Amino acid sequence: MKTLDQIAAELQGYDPQALRAPAVNDFLSALVEPVADTETVGVFQALDRVLAADVVSPISVPPHDNSAMDGYALASADLATDRPTVLTAVGTAYAGTAWNGPVAAGQCVKIMTGAIMPAGLDTVVPVEFVQVEQDRVSVPPGVVRAGDNRRLLGEDLMQGQPALRRGDRLGPAALGLIASLGLATVSVYRRLKVAYFSTGDEILSLGEAPREGAVYDSNRYTVFGLLTRLGVEVIDLGVVQDEPAALEAAFRQAAAQADAIITSGGVSMGEADHTKAMMRQLGDVAFWRIAMRPGRPMAVGRLSQGHHPAVLFGLPGNPVAVMVTFLAFVRPALLQMMGARTPAPPLLKAHSLEALRKKPGRTEYQRGVVSTGPDGRLQVRTTGNQGSGVLRSMAEANGLIVLHHQQGHVAPGDEVDVMVFDGVI
């Protein structure tokens, strides 16, 4: 396991007082390690879990050639190219019941969607394309070609092939795919355990009476939502006062119970040093000033308490900065710890509907509303006030406009990167 100093030495241009956003992700990727423990769960319990082994198909899907629609199965060799083809229907093939009667030249079989293709027949003409009179079926020329509307054995997946790969995070489609293979259980990595708490003497918990200079804690609830959406085991340690004994107890409890620890507040340069001092006392911790907005202060490292070290993410105290730093840096790192193969969310391109002021030299994450324009392309506008304490603007947003380190002002119509929220927050 590399120390923080060793990781830093391997990063080109590492400067903890002016760290670029991409370097944060590179550092965290080298810092964290995937969990090793696995468990077997039922399909209904597997949503959002990460596969610990390839899922190898025990069967071919589909298990036989079958019809892709309702119509008439025929042999393509019988089709005429310059005139209607008249065939005699000799039976009906239903889904779930094979039709095994003989089919001679010039004959066809009425077939339902999903029904097994009768032997010797290779094409299905949709029912709406034909004219039927009693058992006589007339097929106009050119409406089908050989092999049309037939799903082949193993077209989706052949027996013995990997259906899903280790490190895949299981979504609804993956659950259906697993079930379609007749598998009732699947091997996944155990749930990641993440403890979190807010710090600060000015923080009020819900139910406490208001007092001058104090604010109600929102960060616990946004972090809870972000972690819950991620599918980890959440350990809520509440609000911890900025006092050494309380902080030490909280950090020790979190490190003893969790794989990762998230705190909010207490890492800015101008704040009281109790939180930072306790982080230093209990572990190997680096304190950064990231070239970003909103955000900037962040602490990362490892805290040990009698078992494998817990990874520490010390986030700033402002509500929007907490969410942005979580989405940009912590979430990809946690996904990597969960064993996921693709932790970073993709950035999409959208056209800005307004001018955006931006100075080169930092990465900015502006709250935006992404929509589809009249030309079918993605477009985005800001939610207005971009202050790091304006949580309402985050609630109104459905994505972040990512303005990169060297990027300058954006004119209306310019293309920008966006990180969409759907499924994340």
Three state DSSP letters for 266-322:
CCCCCCCCHHHHHHHHHEEEEEEEECEECCCEEEEEEECCCCCCEEEEEECCCHHHH
CA atoms 196, 201, 202, 205: torsion sign: positive
Block residue for tokens 């202060």? 297
- Enter the tokens of residue 156: 């989706």
Whether the Cβ atoms of residue 299 and residue 280 lie closer than 8 Å to each other: no
Q: Domain 348-420 is classified in which CATH homologous superfamily?
A: MoeA, C-terminal, domain IV (2.40.340.10)
> Rounded CA gap, 344 and 336, in Å?
9
Whether the Cβ atoms of residue 58 and residue 159 lie closer than 8 Å to each other: yes
Decide: pTM greater than 0.75. yes
Block residue for tokens 């962040």? 298
Burial of 49 (0-12, 13-18, 19+ CB in 10 A): buried
Q: Output the pLDDT for position 271.
A: 52
Q: Output the pLDDT for position 273.
A: 62
Pairing of β 131-133 and β 136-139: antiparallel
Q: 147 φ, ψ to 5°?
A: 90, -5
Q: Where are the domains of the chain?
A: 4-37+191-337, 39-60+166-189, 66-151, 348-420
Q: Output the pLDDT for position 269.
A: 60
Burial of 330 (0-12, 13-18, 19+ CB in 10 A): buried
Q: 343 φ, ψ to 5°?
A: -75, -25
Q: 35 φ, ψ to 5°?
A: -65, 155
Q: Which residues of the chain have pLDDT under 70?
A: 268-273, 306, 423-425
CATH architecture of 66-151: Beta Complex (2.170)
Domain 4-37+191-337, CATH: 3.40.980.10
Whether the Cβ atoms of residue 381 and residue 369 lie closer than 8 Å to each other: yes
> Rounded CA gap, 216 and 226, in Å?
19
- Enter the tokens of residue 210: 């208001």
Pairing of β 378-382 and β 348-352: parallel
Q: Output the pLDDT for position 241.
A: 86
Q: What letter does residue 425 receive in the DSSP assignment?
A: -
Question: Measuring CA to CA, which residue among 27, 16, 7, 37 is closest to residue 338?
Answer: 37
Burial of 143 (0-12, 13-18, 19+ CB in 10 A): middle
Question: Measuring CA to CA, which residue among 82, 331, 322 is closest to residue 230?
Answer: 331
Q: 264 φ, ψ to 5°?
A: -130, 130
Pick the CATH number of 39-60+166-189 from 3.90.105.10, 3.40.50.1370, 3.40.50.150, 3.10.20.90: 3.90.105.10
